[in-house]
Amino acid sequence: MNNLSQILVNGLLIGGVYALSAIGLTLVFGVMRVINFAHGEFLMLGGYASYYLFTLWGIDPILSIPLTILLVGPIGWLVQKYLVARVMHSNHLNQILLTLGISIILQNAALLLFTGDHVSAPVSYGSSSVTLGPVTVGVARLIAFGLGIGLSALLYMILTKTEVGRVLRAVAQNDVSARLMGINVEQIYLLTYVVSASLAAVSGALTSVIMYVHPLVGFQFIVKDFAIVVLGGLGSVPGAVLGALLLGVVESFVGTVVPNGGGWAEGISFVAIIVTLLIRPKGLFGVE
Amino acid sequence: MALLRRYAGLIIFAVVMLLFPFFADDYSLHIGVTILMAAALGASWNLLTLTGQLSLGHAAFYGLGAYTAALLTSKLGTPPLLAIPIGGLVAAASSLVIGSITLRMRGIYLAITTLAFAEALRVATINLPSITNGAVGVTVNALFDGEKAGAYFVMAAIAFLIALGTQWIFQSPLHFAFTAIRENQEAAAMLGIDLTRYKLLAFGLSAFGTGLVGGFYPYYVTYIVPDNVFGMHISVTAQVYALFGGLYTVMGPVVGAGVLEVMNEFLRQHLEQASLLVYGVVLVATIVFFPGGIVGSLKQLWRRREAKRAHVKTTESL
Amino acid sequence: MLFIADLCAFYGEFQALFGVNITVKQGEVTSIVGPNGAGKSTLLRAVSGLVRTEGRIEFEGQNLRKIPAHRIVDLGLAHVPEGRGLFPYLTVRENLELGSHVPRARPFRAKNMEWVYHLFPRLLERERQLAHTLSGGEQQMVAIGRGLMSRPKLLILDEPSIGLAPKMVSVLFNVIEEIRREGVTVLLVEQNVHRALMASESAYVIENGAMVLSGSGSELLQSPQLQEAFLGLAQDEMR
Ligand SMILES: Nc1ncnc2c1ncn2[C@@H]1O[C@H](COP(=O)(O)OP(=O)(O)O)[C@@H](O)[C@H]1O
Ligand SMILES: [Mg+2]
């Protein structure tokens, strides 16, 4: 039952979902040098969007992903345009406290609007599973993993192969020079923030299928996201994917092997952060 | 005169704090305690921030203070007035550990690490029921059998101690060292300022203050659970008081706590549950619209008026 | 082509330029010299819309002060900044491609890249290398090449010879000459006073944020005031 390969696969599957959200966080940091404490709240909003689209209109959370992005993306746009943009040239303290403030506003607004109940979208394939050799995996988790890794790969291709990707990387590396190339840097920041929020929202949609959504779910995820981006090196997209898979696997192991281990997730994140920063502050994988 | 002016904030604080109970009923005393806890929390966080170290995990120190004190009393029968300072010391000790680990970290990494630290302690407390009673929490008897005025004076003493400590730092060479580290760490090191020593000192003092407030808390409410004392809301409110009142000032956190807690109490009667929402709005609005906070903005106004007056004088004498 | 009058520039409260007047004529090389901290780079940044300014900056009759930084390139003006400002973790080719990001230049990307590789054959060999792994001279070539990728009417160069070996400096000035022959107007800031003035039709000297001398390159070379101001530098160069 609890064989090694099963534990490994469970961890990798959940890591695929973590990857999406972590990429969003690392992208904003890489391009804008802002660590976005409100990132988790876009995941939470995405989760609620897909939950309500499912319960009110019966649209499958996977199919409603474009709609979820359409609902959450504009919120990201507003937040960047009217709030975060104002502290782009400010110090870290102001940037962190501002995004933290936004996070608190969104969390508590959600608490008032949606109550503190844990909800999830009970899709028809929620309890079906497939067995491949020694491992059994839930169909929903498999789909979520596929989407997570697929979208991550797509984003990576866009970043490395297209003009807009080049532009994003240019702004990340030298924003003044980017301006001298005729790049509208503020617009790139907006784009980055909206893409990042959308990735988190997709992650939230997947969460509504395979786990639960509640007003504080974003906070739970951001602690994991921090661990992941520190593992992978802040600002690195491939690093974030590897970090996410690694964290998923470690959580899966601890959750299975340690008695009551499932409750220790945030503890694992903390250990991952400390250990990484102590031994390799630039991240374990050393990719740019 | 200059001396009086320097201490004016502190003296007003002490007088108001001492006189208040004579005019207050139990309900007002309760508000008073809430404000004092908030002020002490904000002032403690501000102490660390003076060195440019941004902690998002002060709940860790608060929770450690609370759990240490509550467990000492409930398991060993330690008297509260002894258990509270021990709570402060345990918090301070833990801060030296986390402080030395994060010593070389840049701002964002420190923020992330401290936040994760508080979360790790929260889950540890939940998951180690044999020591902590887990999610069930710890129950203790109220301070002075629930006599509100007694609790008020204990908390007042803690808050005053922290404010006094801050004032002392502002007048000692520490202030120069802290400010230098905050403004430019490399330059400070070149001036011969021992970064390790001062950063850890700030961590220790800040955590000690926070641990005292946390230590006081269980005896005031008689019951603590992990989510309550290790929760993110503790870290956030500490920042909001300091920031709203005025970062890097002595009285800012006190003023911020007073204004916000009174407002909060008023709001509580109209908007159930909305207090954190309001704090979020205050945080965002302060950063975007008046980064100096109340005290900072007042100081700026004052300076402008002085400058204007000086200007008028010189033109008159011409 | 570029007309600057009564230009003041500010970094926050700090004023770095105090009423500077400069004219750059089409088809010429114009140089600006002056001691460190005089405000030369600030002047160039003002043209590119990177600092807060007062006064007049007109490019082909258009008021540049009303145009946001990212639209200025599209008017046909390329600025190669001090310290090169490369994108260190992009390849040479990607750096060059970004030089033709603006709509005006995008359709001619392939053609302009051919031109740049013709001017700097070395870069073709290094095409796939990350910019930060190149030598100083090669990095400067990438920076200039990236500027040329938009096929600008006016090319602005801020201390391109800094940190280069003497042989590379000669290559650089040959390239500037060649670029000018191909019809690109050049505005050059240099600390290599002698060489800069030799290569320029007109030149300006600024000090402490204000203009102190102007004239043709050869006039200034003869000017006793300039000799005095840059005695040390000039002598180094004369050797
Ligand atoms: N980003 C900046 N912020 C504040 N002051 C600056 C900045 N850049 C340059 N300065 C100041 O403006 C003045 C002119 O600098 P600059 O234009 O770089 O001189 P130059 O290029 O002639 O050496 C100097 O006094 C310099 O200290
Ligand atoms: Mg310069």
Q: What is the mean pLDDT of chain C?
A: 90
CB distance C64 to C49 below 8 Å: yes
Q: CA-to-CA distance for B89 and B82, rounded, in angstroms? A: 11
* pLDDT exceeds cutoff 70 at C228: no
Query: By mean pLDDT, which of A56-60, A173-177, A282-286, B192-196 is the weakest?
Result: A282-286
* pLDDT exceeds cutoff 70 at C220: yes
Nearest one of B197, C69, C184, B17 to A177, comparing CA atoms? C69
Do residue A180 and residue C68 have CB atoms under 8 angstroms apart? no
Q: CA-to-CA distance for C41 and C18, rounded, in angstroms? A: 14
What tokens appear for B33 in the block? 């305690």
Do residue A166 and residue C102 have CB atoms under 8 angstroms apart? no
pLDDT mean over A154-161:
95
pLDDT digits (tens, 9 = 90+) for A82-108: 999 999 988 888 898 899 999 999 999
Phi first, then psi: what are they for C190, rounded to 5°?
A: -140, 150
Give, in order, the Cα–Cα distances in Å from B184 to each of B105, B187, C24. Answer: 14, 5, 42
Q: Pick from A44-48, B10-14, C31-35 the range whose average pLDDT is largest.
A: A44-48
* pLDDT exceeds cutoff 50 at C20: yes
User: What count of CB pairs under 8 Å joins A to C?
Assistant: 66
**Residue A204 forms part of a structural domain:** yes
Q: CA-to-CA distance for A166 and B102, rounded, in angstroms? A: 34
| Residues facing C31 on adjacent strands | C188, C203
**Residue A91 forms part of a structural domain:** yes
Burial status of residue C67 (CB atoms within 10 A of its CB: 0-12, 13-18, 19 or more): middle
pLDDT digits (tens, 9 = 90+) for C33-45: 988 899 999 999 9
Measured from the alpha carbon of residue C208, the closest ligand is 1
* pLDDT exceeds cutoff 90 at A77: yes
Task: Name the band, by pLDDT with cuts 50, 70 and 90, for residue B290.
Answer: confident
pLDDT digits (tens, 9 = 90+) for A212-231: 999 999 999 999 999 999 99
Q: What does the pLDDT read at residue C238? A: 44
In sequence order, what are the residues at sequence separation of 6 or more whose Cβ sits closer than 8 angstroms to the Cβ of residue B198? B51, B174, B177, B178, B181
CATH number, residue A128 = 1.10.3470
Q: What does the pLDDT read at residue B314? A: 54
Tell me how far the alpha carbon of residue A170 lies from the centroid of ligand 2, in angstroms.
23
Q: What is the mean pLDDT of chain B?
A: 88
The strand pair at C154-158 and C185-189 is best described as parallel
Q: CA-to-CA distance for B31 and B211, rounded, in angstroms? A: 21
| Residues facing C59 on adjacent strands | C2, C62
Q: What does the pLDDT read at residue B230? A: 95
**Residue A285 forms part of a structural domain:** no
Give the residue ranges of DSSP H helices in chain B: 2-23, 26-49, 58-71, 80-101, 107-127, 129-132, 148-171, 173-183, 185-190, 195-221, 226-229, 232-245, 252-268, 275-289, 293-317
* pLDDT exceeds cutoff 60 at B317: no
* pLDDT exceeds cutoff 70 at A177: yes
Tell me how far the alpha carbon of residue C208 lies from the centroid of ligand 2, in angstroms.
12
The strand pair at C52-59 and C210-216 is best described as unpaired
Task: Name the band, by pLDDT with cuts 50, 70 and 90, for residue B207.
Answer: very high
Length of chain C: 239
In sequence order, what are the residues at sequence separation of 6 or more whose Cβ sits closer than 8 angstroms to the Cβ of residue A6? A134, A135, A136
DSSP state of C106: G
In sequence order, what are the residues at sequence separation of 6 or more whose Cβ sits closer than 8 angstroms to the Cβ of residue A185? A171, A175, A178, A179, C70
The strand pair at C154-158 and C77-80 is best described as parallel
Q: Pick from A114-128, A247-261, B78-92 the range whose average pLDDT is largest.
A: B78-92
Residues within a 6 A CB radius of ligand 1: C 11, 14, 16, 34, 36-42
In sequence order, what are the residues at sequence separation of 6 or more whose Cβ sits closer than 8 angstroms to the Cβ of residue C7? C17, C19, C20, C21, C22, C43, C46, C53, C54, C55, C56, C57
* pLDDT exceeds cutoff 60 at A1: no
B125 CB-side CA count, 13 A: 27
Task: Name the band, by pLDDT with cuts 50, 70 and 90, for residue B265.
Answer: confident
Domains and CATH numbers, chain B: 2-317 (1.10.3470)
* pLDDT exceeds cutoff 60 at C233: no
What is residue B192's three-state secondary structure? coil
pLDDT digits (tens, 9 = 90+) for B75-115: 999 999 999 999 999 999 999 999 988 887 777 889 889 99
Q: What does the pLDDT read at residue A123? A: 85
Could you tell me the residue range of the domain that residue A207 belongs to?
A: 2-279
Q: Does B239 touch chain A (CB under 8 A)?
A: yes
Q: Does A62 touch chain B (CB under 8 A)?
A: no
DSSP state of C159: S
Q: What does the pLDDT read at residue A41? A: 97
Instruction: State the total domains in chain A.
Output: 1
pLDDT digits (tens, 9 = 90+) for C54-104: 999 999 999 999 999 999 999 999 999 999 999 999 999 999 999 999 999
Q: What does the pLDDT read at residue A83? A: 95
Phi first, then psi: what are they for B76, rounded to 5°?
A: -115, -5
- Higher pLDDT pick, B270 / B289: B289
Do residue C89 and residue A169 have CB atoms under 8 angstroms apart? yes
Of the partner residues C74, C89, C94, the one whose CB lies closest to the CB of residue A182: C74
Nearest one of A155, A184, A29, A178 to C87, comparing CA atoms? A178
pLDDT digits (tens, 9 = 90+) for B152-195: 999 999 999 999 999 999 999 999 999 999 998 889 989 888 88
Residue linked to tokens 């070389």: B104
Nearest one of A154, A172, A122, A174 to A241, comparing CA atoms? A154
pLDDT mean over C154-180:
92
What is residue A71's three-state secondary structure? helix
The strand pair at C29-33 and C185-189 is best described as parallel
The ipTM of this complex is 0.91
Q: What does the pLDDT read at residue C235? A: 47
**Residue A288 forms part of a structural domain:** no
Do residue A97 and residue B49 have CB atoms under 8 angstroms apart? no
- pTM of the full predicted structure? 0.91
Q: What does the pLDDT read at residue B299? A: 82
**Residue A284 forms part of a structural domain:** no
**Residue A287 forms part of a structural domain:** no
Tell me how far the alpha carbon of residue C123 lies from the centroid of ligand 1, in angstroms.
32
Q: What does the pLDDT read at residue A161? A: 94
**Residue A64 forms part of a structural domain:** yes
CB distance C28 to C46 below 8 Å: no
**Residue A271 forms part of a structural domain:** yes
Percent over 70 (pLDDT), chain C: 95
- Higher pLDDT pick, C225 / B315: C225
The continuous run of DSSP H or E covering C9 comes out as strand C2-11
Q: Does A83 touch chain B (CB under 8 A)?
A: yes
